Chains A and B, each alone.
Chain A
Amino acid sequence: MKLNVNGRDHDVDAEPDTPLLYVLRDHLELNGAKFGCGLGQCGACTVMVDDEAVFSCLAPILLLDGRRVTTVEGLGSADNPNPLQKAFIDEQAAQCGYCIAGMIMRAQALLKRNPSPSREEIRAALQPNLCRCGTHMRILRAVERAAGRRTAEVTGGAR
């Protein structure tokens, strides 16, 4: 199987029914997409296929021929984060962080089609993704910051 991930073509030796998640994690050794439920209920595995957010745990690789897969690694790095990743750092929008890469990918897909979403539009877009630590308020603020809706300096602490 051929797979285009983060702008690079990969030859993947996996059975065609293998969900994308396992190819990303196990074959390509990418950490961003997380196993959460394998059922499309939590969004921890969210990546972009072309410009759409998809549950990589449900997408068999046989459907991905000729498509572009983007994971959180494809957006930027810890040292050189993209604006959305940087917004998550600025807002300290993580506790355990396990859901965060999936949140970022779903938000990135939203910002692609709607560069200046309202809070309601952000909520609606992120509805498929679960966070158990209760970081939701910070996640909403991070997406708003990336969309240029929040520019105030983050001081943290009491607010």
Chain B
Amino acid sequence: MRLSMIVATVAGVALLITGLSMPWLKIPLILSFCYGMAALGIGVLLRAGQISFGHAMYACISGYVVAYLSSHFRGLDGALLIILGTLASIAVGMLVGAFVVRYREIFFGMLNLAISMVLFTVLGKFYAYTGGTDGLRVQRPTLFGFELGRTEFESALLVLAVILSLAVIWGVQRYFRSSAGEALAAIKTNETRLEYLGVSAKLLLWQGYVLSAGLCGLAGSLFGLSQGLVTPEMGYWLRSGEFVFIAILGGSGHAVGAFVGALLYEFLKMYAAALVSGAWQMILGVTLIVIIYFLPKGLVGLLSERRKALRGDA
């Protein structure tokens, strides 16, 4: 196991112990892990030099699927709901991806935003099916066969969030280092050369897009279960913007970056809101400017630079 994965595991276990011993931290930590997964989805696209301002739609789709199934099929286990919610996002990602991968850069970003806003509007208008702007309640399901009270359910979700996050970091990092992942990163620097090697850049980007939709879907399923409610706001463009913010904050050089960014973002938001309730967004904005200016590769870029310096490569 690589050093980065060992550090991530130790940090994940430490956060888990902290969350379980300080109950008020449970939900912020679960949300951080959800944000981390979704931001990693954006990170996959960033590696290809693309950005999406609409990926919250995939978290929203899975959240609604979880809410709908939890109400209409009461016997379904929470683990199965997470899987089905994620699969729904993957399925929509495959369809939407087939269309948007024909475009690049700002057109790619804005098309995703436009599609997400169509979904947002549909969810708000079709009250009979979606609950309109009030959204849908998520009925607390069993988790791995266990009937749990609210507190135990949150604890179990935190454990699950940590395990899933570590699995996602490991799996996505392997993908980043694989042939497909390295070829995806090559789209950013030279799509022409890829085509002249006989490789379809569109297919590579589509694969990355489906992965990113799946990651956002996984985040949305967990988010829905932890919040007990899903609303169209989950798919609003501001939420997509938050994912982008976190992905840039953490950096896309390593899969762990998104989670570092998510933890920083969640706690920065929490404390900024407590300190300057009327202007907390300003603190977030300044943080982003500082990161972009001084750490263009995000926080994880800082760590890799330090490692290089320690090895004497720099």
Do A and B truly interact? no
Q: Which chain B residues have a beta carbon within 8 Å of chain A's beta carbons?
A: none
Point out residues on A near B: beta carbons under 8 Å.
Answer: none
